[in-house]
Amino acid sequence: MSVLNTSRGDTRRGAGRGAARPPVPRKSFSAWANRHRKWLFAAPAMIFVGVLIVFPLAWTLYLSLTDSQGSVRAATEFIGLENYVTVLSDVERFWPAVGRTLSFTGVALACEVVLGMGIALLLWRPFRGEKWVRVAILLPLVATPVAVGMMWRLIFDPNIGFVNQLLGMIGIPPQPWLSGQDTALGTTIFMDIWQWTPMVVLILLAGLTSLSEEPDEAARMDGANAFQRFFFITLPLMMPTVIVAILLRGIDALKTFDILYATKGKGGGSFHEVETLNVYAYGLSFDYNQYGLSSAVLILFFMIIIGTMWLLTMRKKAVSK
Amino acid sequence: MKRRSIVKYAAVAAALSLGLTACGSGGGDAKAAGTVRVTLANHVWTEGIKAAIPEFEKATGLKVELTQLGEDQLSDQYNVKLNAGSDEIDVMMYRPLQEGKAFAKNGYLADLTSKVSADANWDWKDYQEGPVKASTVDGKVVGVPIITEREVLYYRKDLLQAAGVQVPKTMDELEAAAKKIAAANPDTAGFVARTAKSAAVTQFSSFLYSFGGDFTDADGKSAVGSDAAKKAYSFYGGLIKNYGPKNVSTDMSWPEAMAIFTQGKAAFYTEADSLYKNATDPAKSKVADKVGFAALPAGPAGSKPYNIPSWGLAVNNASGNQDNAWKFIQWATSKDRTLAAQKAGVPGPRASVWADPAGTSTYPKDLAEAIATSAKNGVGHDRPQVITVGKAREIVGEPIVASITGADASSAADSANEAFQKFLDSEKK
């Protein structure tokens, strides 16, 4: 907000000064514009950031300090950090949701990066039919997450689903998958991996193709085997790209909402078995209409994301050095 | 210096907000052009109205802009738009028992009290008592009910006949019949019903009343820990656990439960009567010609299904177009339209339509009888009557799920009772 304020203040002050000089107005405007061009050119971006990012964030922060509920237009009272105390001491919904958010992200991300690296290495060298394989691998990426959720929901249906029919053929008893209290989160992680590994492949493949061949060739001359070449040459060189992939995919995975909502609905199932922070905040605000509490959860969630990002960027800097 | 910049900032903000208001002033234009903006939920009722809208447009010269949404999207839309004080909605289809109290408390719904009594021809007195009560908040009429429902028993005639059992009249008979049929047909469940924590509450409510319980007692205190409630919880959950589909999911709302029944995978199913077309329409149901209907079996306290208005029409209080909005509601809820909707399979709230033989002419005979019985003994609510219904449903629904998964229903009911009392106290503040 303050950024917006100074920029506006300055431009207006400039305008005032320009208007004070009587002669030709058009000339004075271009002179003024020229003098303030750094503000003028940056203004659209600054207004955009102010209106679409800073304002909503500041508003959420404000709401999180009030007892706003029912309707956001209703009278609210400023209650300081009470919402935060309530949220942080809530061991029934909040902390389990934090745990699920982190384990969902951790497991999904680890699998996606390992799998993504494997697939990227396979696709690295040219081979016959390469184009078709690449297209096929990228297909899940372009599907709508809600449609993906519905599709897997049918596939994993405990009674009529394809997976259980398949298991039945080889004599394994039907599994509950999405409807099981202990299996639901794992199943949604699988869906996330299925959909987002291609994105990691894409990023890593871009990194691989930009690597120079020489170090690899030199190692080959020295008699290093494929295993050694990957772990001591390719991977260290790829590290900055890997961290970019982790950063992008990690933030996205933390914020996952659509597939969870599409498969388990409000509250993440009858036992809240897939309720992550995002799903929890949605329920607080759209089902319970407790905007103050919901905002507090979102601010805490935002801090978790910022924290993770900061850690990863630090790591990236260390690697780049 | 500082003050000057604040003044300037205020000026900019004022200019910006003026600009924004200019963009958002659709309300005035719509009024001038004679447009009514109507937001409706996906429902058989909506399909009927949609087809008839040209009639209304021709008769009044007004133009109708229709937005149609699924249930969840609809409630999210209301949450966002009404919260922002938007005038983009004139007429809104809403659930009196789910959102009515909260919306009225927030001042989202226009007071229709004088409008409903103004036209004797349209006849507000024709409306059944329960639906009227549910559409009235603090003595003010805030909505006009359009769809009513009661819980009835759906059953498979062929399976009952093959097993040699009569249509159950009591809960005990229902359990015995479900047991017998499930034992004789390994691939078919004896009984199916909703299982998801929140969605199951409404269908469980009739069991609760029939066992002599309710969500709150006469003093407004939580009653979900009473003996009657505990028995109801364990009976409903037990039916599904013992005689329900194998690997039963605890996420089933009506589409999932109905699918199991219409795929021919269950003998008994308790559900709202207003959904009966899903079971009797050959395009949607494999067992369309084998479905029978009966009133809810009697528990220790008799047969006490809910009898409620599931949907109503209201006018957005922020709308600048309230008179035209009322014209639309008056037309959509007229006796003729109600009769037409009811013939298409949507049970209405008008006594005169139910009294008219044409009103039930398209219904299966046993269903019409079940509805008539249920309307007589019915209870006027199917969920806790509170402001934040969503949260209350999750609390009182917990023991249902516990019971279905084989946990101790009684201790689950005790902890739900405590949580629900705490919730009720917090709403009083």
**Widest CA span of chain B, in angstroms?**
92
Taking CB atoms within 8 Å and a gap of at least 24, the contacts of A138-146 are: A138/A198, A138/A201, A138/A202, A139/A198, A140/A194, A140/A195, A140/A196, A140/A197, A140/A198, A141/A195, A141/A196, A141/A198, A141/A199, A141/A202, A143/A195, A145/A195, A145/A258, A145/A259, A145/A262, A146/A258, A146/A259, A146/A261, A146/A262
Cβ-defined contact of A159 to B265 (cutoff 8 Å): yes
> What's the pLDDT score for residue A10?
44
ipTM of the prediction: 0.81
With respect to residue B128, please indicate whether it lies within any of the assigned structural domains. yes
Whether B125 has a pLDDT exceeding 70, the answer reads yes
B246–chain A Cβ distance below 8 A for any pair: yes
Q: State how far the Cα of B93 lies from the Cα of B400, in Å rounded to an integer.
A: 29
Helix (H, G, I), strand (E, B), or coil: what is residue B38?
strand
A77–chain B Cβ distance below 8 A for any pair: no
Whether residue B123 is found in the same domain as residue B269 = no
A138-169 b/e (C-beta count within 10 Å ≥ 16 → b): eebeeeebeebbeebbebbbbbebebbeeeee
- pTM for the structure as a whole: 0.83
Q: Which helix (H) or strand (E) holds B421?
A: helix B409-428
How does the average pLDDT of chain B come out, rounded?
Answer: 90
> What's the pLDDT score for residue B5?
47
With respect to residue B35, please indicate whether it lies within any of the assigned structural domains. yes
pLDDT band at B35 (very low <50, low <70, confident <90, very high): very high
Residues of chain B found within 8 Å of residue A269, distances taken between Cβ atoms: 250-251
With respect to residue B2, please indicate whether it lies within any of the assigned structural domains. no
Q: Look at the block and give the residue holding tokens 């514009």.
A: A33
Q: State how far the Cα of B187 lies from the Cα of B264, in Å rounded to an integer.
A: 10
Q: State how far the Cα of A283 lies from the Cα of B148, in Å rounded to an integer.
A: 28
Cβ-defined contact of B249 to A289 (cutoff 8 Å): no
A289–chain B Cβ distance below 8 A for any pair: yes
> What's the pLDDT score for residue A70?
86
Of B10 and A230, the structure prediction assigns the larger pLDDT to A230
DSSP structure string for A179-210? GSTTTHHHHHHHHHHHHHHHHHHHHHHHHHHT
Q: What are the structure tokens assigned to B103, written together?
A: 């919306």
Domain termination site, one of B377, B396, B414: B377
**Widest CA span of chain A, in angstroms?**
93
Q: Look at the block and give the residue holding tokens 């979102």.
A: A298
pLDDT band at A82 (very low <50, low <70, confident <90, very high): very high
A176–chain B Cβ distance below 8 A for any pair: yes
Whether B3 has a pLDDT exceeding 50, the answer reads no
Whether residue B251 is found in the same domain as residue B391 = yes
B391–chain A Cβ distance below 8 A for any pair: yes
Tens-place pLDDT, residues B80-102? 999 989 999 999 999 999 999 99
Beta-ladder partners of B144: B313
Please tell me which of the candidates A71, A174, A265 has its beta carbon nearest to residue B83.
Answer: A71
Helix (H, G, I), strand (E, B), or coil: what is residue A60?
helix
Residue B192 φ then ψ, to 5°: -140, 150
Cβ-defined contact of B401 to A270 (cutoff 8 Å): yes
Whether residue B284 is found in the same domain as residue B422 = yes
Q: How many domains does chain B have?
A: 2
Helix (H, G, I), strand (E, B), or coil: what is residue B302?
strand
B72–chain A Cβ distance below 8 A for any pair: yes
Beta-ladder partners of B153: B270, B294
Alpha carbon B386 to its chain's center:
15
> What's the pLDDT score for residue A277?
95
With respect to residue B3, please indicate whether it lies within any of the assigned structural domains. no
DSSP annotation of B96 reads: I
With respect to residue B347, please indicate whether it lies within any of the assigned structural domains. yes
Whether residue B155 is found in the same domain as residue B202 = yes
Whether residue B324 is found in the same domain as residue B400 = no
> What's the pLDDT score for residue B296?
96
pLDDT band at A25 (very low <50, low <70, confident <90, very high): low
Cβ-defined contact of B401 to A271 (cutoff 8 Å): yes
CB contact set of A173 (below 8 Å; sequence gap of 6+): A167
Cβ-defined contact of B246 to A271 (cutoff 8 Å): no
pLDDT band at B33 (very low <50, low <70, confident <90, very high): low
With respect to residue B4, please indicate whether it lies within any of the assigned structural domains. no
Q: State how far the Cα of A12 lies from the Cα of B13, in Å rounded to an integer.
A: 13
CA dihedral for A286, A288, A289, A293, sign (positive or negative): negative
How many C-beta atoms lie closer than 10 Å to residue A113's C-beta? 19
Q: State how far the Cα of A29 lies from the Cα of A14, in Å rounded to an integer.
A: 10
Whether residue B349 is found in the same domain as residue B247 = no
Q: State how far the Cα of A262 lies from the Cα of A268, in Å rounded to an integer.
A: 10
DSSP annotation of B170 reads: B
Whether B11 has a pLDDT exceeding 60, the answer reads no
Mean pLDDT computed over A19-41: 76
Residues of chain B found within 8 Å of residue A5, distances taken between Cβ atoms: 5, 9
Q: State how far the Cα of A184 lies from the Cα of A157, in Å rounded to an integer.
A: 12
| For A5, nearest residue in chain B (alpha carbons) | B9
Tens-place pLDDT, residues A137-163? 889 988 898 899 989 988 998 877 899
A165–chain B Cβ distance below 8 A for any pair: no
Residues of chain B found within 8 Å of residue A6, distances taken between Cβ atoms: 5
Please classify residue A5 by burial: count the beta carbons closer than 10 Å to its beta carbon, then call 0-12 exposed, 13-18 middle and 19+ buried.
middle
Whether residue B240 is found in the same domain as residue B162 = yes
Residues of chain B found within 8 Å of residue A285, distances taken between Cβ atoms: 79
Domain hosting B420: range is 150-306+382-428
> What's the pLDDT score for residue B377?
86
Chain B: nearest CA to A80, how far in angstroms? Answer: 19
With respect to residue B1, please indicate whether it lies within any of the assigned structural domains. no
Residue A314 φ then ψ, to 5°: -55, -45
Distances from the Cα of B234 to the Cαs of B197, B207, B225, B246, B288, in angstroms?
Answer: 14, 10, 12, 18, 31
A9–chain B Cβ distance below 8 A for any pair: yes
Q: Yes or no: say if A87 and A300 are a contact pair by the CB < 8 Å rule.
A: yes
> What's the pLDDT score for residue A134?
85
- Here the CATH number for the domain that contains residue B363 is 3.40.190.10
CB contact set of A311 (below 8 Å; sequence gap of 6+): none
Whether residue B85 is found in the same domain as residue B129 = yes
Tens-place pLDDT, residues B102-116? 999 999 999 999 999
Whether B2 has a pLDDT exceeding 60, the answer reads no
Chain B: nearest CA to A131, how far in angstroms? Answer: 40
pLDDT band at A88 (very low <50, low <70, confident <90, very high): very high
Chain B: nearest CA to A286, how far in angstroms? Answer: 6
Whether residue B405 is found in the same domain as residue B368 = no
Mean pLDDT computed over A279-283: 94
Residue B346 φ then ψ, to 5°: -110, 105
Out of A26-30, A64-68, B298-302, least confident range = A26-30
Whether residue B393 is found in the same domain as residue B361 = no
Out of A80-89, A167-176, B398-407, least confident range = A167-176
Whether residue B251 is found in the same domain as residue B212 = yes
Chain A: nearest CA to B187, how far in angstroms? Answer: 11
Q: Which helix (H) or strand (E) holds B93?
A: strand B91-94
B405–chain A Cβ distance below 8 A for any pair: yes
> What's the pLDDT score for residue B49?
95
Whether residue B296 is found in the same domain as residue B401 = yes
Please tell me which of the candidates A5, A70, A159 has its beta carbon nearest to residue B247.
Answer: A159
Q: Yes or no: say if A283 and A225 are a contact pair by the CB < 8 Å rule.
A: no
Domain termination site, one of B362, B377, B392: B377
